[in-house]
Amino acid sequence: MFNKDRWKEIIEVLTSNMFRTILTAFGVFWGILILIILLAAGKGLENGIKSDFGDIATNTMFMWSQATSKEYEGLPKGRRFDFKVSDVTSLKENIKELRFVSARNRLDGYQGENNVTRGIKVGAFNVYGDYPEIIKQDPMTITSGRFINHSDIVEKRKIAIIGQGVKSSLFDKGETVLGSFIKVQGVNFMVVGTYKKKSNEGDGEEGQKEIFVPFTSFSQAFNKGNDVGWMAITAKDGSSITSLKERIITLMKVNRKIHPEDNRAIGNFDLYEQYNRVESLFVAMRLIAYFVGILVLISGIIGVSNIMLIVVKERTKEIGIRRALGEDPWSIKVQILLESIFLTIISGMAGIIFGALFIFGINSLLDAVGPVDMFVNPSVSLGVVLIALIILIISGLLAGFIPAQSAIKVKPIDALRAE
Amino acid sequence: MIEIKNLHKSYKMGSNSLHVLKGINFSVEEGELVAIMGSSGSGKSTLLNILGMLDELDEGSYTLDGVPIKNLNETKAAQYRNKFLGFIFQSFNLINYKTAAENVALPLYYQKVGRKERHEKALKYLERVGLKEWATHLPSELSGGQKQRVAIARAMAAEPKVLLADEPTGALDSKTSYEVMDLIQKINDAGNTILIVTHEPDIADMCKRIVHLKDGVIVEDKKIEQVRASQYV
């Protein structure tokens, strides 16, 4: 089937009327090009929006306390309350599907007054009291030194991990950072590490201007007692935080003596739900891209099928001669099918290559003019290209099938008589 | 070599059918050179098509080299045609985008003979018809007589049992016709069995036996003294 003579003949047939072949090929070329560009544009939009989520573990919710809106067990409404450290333990014990429950506290520095000093340098930064797990929920790259560990928590060490932004405000270039001390609201912390966060759109700058200290040291230094400002809760892989949310909040209502129907007391932000909503949008977009692309491709394939029918018609006599000389009808069928597949694949490959060049061009244009809102790195994966190739082979087969069938339907005697 | 008994063939033409062959009994020995003659509509081409397995018979039996030819599917028919038969057509029927050598090699390709051997054999047969220097030429660069000689080489390339020629000289002038007939006679001299359909008496006279068909039956079947074509060349 794949011998040299077969291919020689395919080339001979397809090049014998070059103009017609190119026109036919253009239909398929155009279809696959549209498909690739649509998918790449969708991917670019997806990348753009997903980069807004940054590296944050998406199966995560944040939960904070607000004022109660219902009286309960003699407690008034409008009461303010705080989560306690014991709530974290009770969440971990009662809901096994949770991977991380991180208690967090914060000193506001954002747009506030200066709260951190080092020598004569001052700055306003967000200072977080955190557990070591937070680095897995809100990922950051440690550029030097280390992050908080469990001994820091247990021994309430006064250490700090500072962002690149903090470093550049408080330290001169070339100064030793690790081992030096910074003063947060009058309390000295030793810097043991620096980090860098993948910049998220909007808060890219702010993300580098944070200081992380151990939760326990934070509580002690800033008189938080057992209070927890808010929690970052991540579910284990396989269970979604959205489905666990209700159990978490119910448990908190019991612990904090809140009316079971009080929906205002505990605020939360479910990253997973938001993420899913966006995700399903992308799925819909991909479907539309495939739908439109394949429809355009189909019109190209019908073109190929049409031309193959004409080619077969033109070659009726030749096919008759070949059959008289003893060519197997199956071999003639294979020949027509291969011609059709070859034509579709070649033009499809041209479409894919052209599409890739187009995407490359768009990317370098994006690089040149700088980031565009909600559109990052339009691309198609190798998988998509493979899918496109499979679609091409199948469509080539389909396009050649009817012509191939009609080629051997004519009896050799009638084919010989054809002029 | 060929054994035909009580052959009937009719064609459906709308509501009525046309009875073309009405009981043909006919046999050909190995090495014979037979002319089938008759006016148009006598059924001679139909007979040749049935002999060539291009058409099916309605009734009767056909045996070729001891093999009964019946109920063939297209694949089997193609195999038998390739193995047993060589065709020579009035309009040459060369494939116009293939060179002379490629045309001659075609039946060998269907026998799955290797490329190199195929080419050697094709050249050998082209040499036999005197066209070795024309091997790389396309049919459009050849004269009518040359085309028919290429077609004869092609028919012989697969070394078939029988050569079937349908008006082989019908599209040629008389001089070229005699050249082609001379070639056919020489091939026959070498022991090949050849059947020629013709309506030209002088061509028929160059065979060894003439079968006359009229209205679908054989009216005359006689052995004749062969006229050698070489004396006219």
Rounded CA-CA distance A108/B21 in Å is 108
- In this complex, which of A318, A330, A416 lies closest to B75 when CB atoms are compared? A330
Is the pLDDT at A275 greater than 80, yes or no? Answer: yes
Are B107 and A326 a contacting pair at CB < 8 A? Answer: yes
A183 reaches B (C-beta below 8 A): no
Alpha-carbon distances, residue B37 vs A30, B44, B57, B196, B221 (angstroms)? 59, 7, 20, 9, 10
Write out chain A residues lying below 8 Å of B110, CB-based: 322, 325-328, 331
Q: Which of A320, A324, A329 sits opposite B74 (nearest CB)?
A: A329
Question: For residue A16, which residues of chain B lie inside 8 Å, CB to CB?
Answer: 97
Helix/strand/coil (H/E/C) assignment for every residue in chain B: CEEEEEEEEEEEECCEEEEEEEEEEEEECCCCEEEEECCCCCCHHHHHHHHCCCCCCCEEEEEECCEECCCCCHHHHHHHHHHHEEEECCCCCCCCCCCHHHHHHHHHHHCCCCHHHHHHHHHHHHHHCCCHHHCCCCHHHCCHHHHHHHHHHHHHHCCCCEEEEECCCCCCCHHHHHHHHHHHHHHHHCCCEEEEECCCHHHHCCCCEEEEEECCEEEEEEECCCCCHHHCC
Predicted local distance difference test score (pLDDT) of residue A128: 93
pLDDT at B196: 94
**Confidence at residue B231, expressed as pLDDT on a 0 to 100 scale:** 87
Lowest mean pLDDT among A32-41, A250-259, A320-329, A373-382: A373-382
Residue A212 confidence (pLDDT): 94
Predicted local confidence at residue B206, as pLDDT:
93
**Which of B55, B75, B106 lies at the smallest CB-CB distance from A325?**
B106
* A contacts of B74 (beta carbons < 8 Å): 323, 329, 408
Q: Which residue of B has its CA nearest to A319?
A: B95
> Nearest C-alpha of chain B: how many angstroms from A409?
10
Complex prediction ipTM: 0.88
A416 contacts in chain B (CB < 8 Å): 54, 89, 93
A324:B54 CB<8 A: yes
Q: Which domains does chain B have, with CATH numbers?
A: 1-229 (3.40.50.300)
**pLDDT score at A193:** 93
Interface touch B89/A416, C-beta < 8 Å: yes
The chain-wide mean pLDDT, for chain A, equals: 87
Average pLDDT over residues B202-216: 92
* pLDDT value of position A13: 83
**Residue in chain B nearest A4 by alpha carbon:** B115
Interface check for B106 against chain A (CB to CB < 8 A): the answer is: yes
Quick: pLDDT tens for A330-355: 889 999 999 999 999 999 999 999 99
Residue A165 pLDDT > 80: yes
* pLDDT at A377 (0 to 100): 83
State whether residue A304 is helix, strand or coil: helix
> Average per-residue pLDDT in chain B?
91
Lowest mean pLDDT, pick from A71-85, A358-372, B95-109: A358-372
Give the model's confidence band at B184: pLDDT under 50 very low, under 70 low, under 90 confident, else very high: very high
pLDDT for A84 equals 92
* Mean per-residue pLDDT, A12-19: 86
**pLDDT class of A111 with cuts at 50, 70, 90:** low
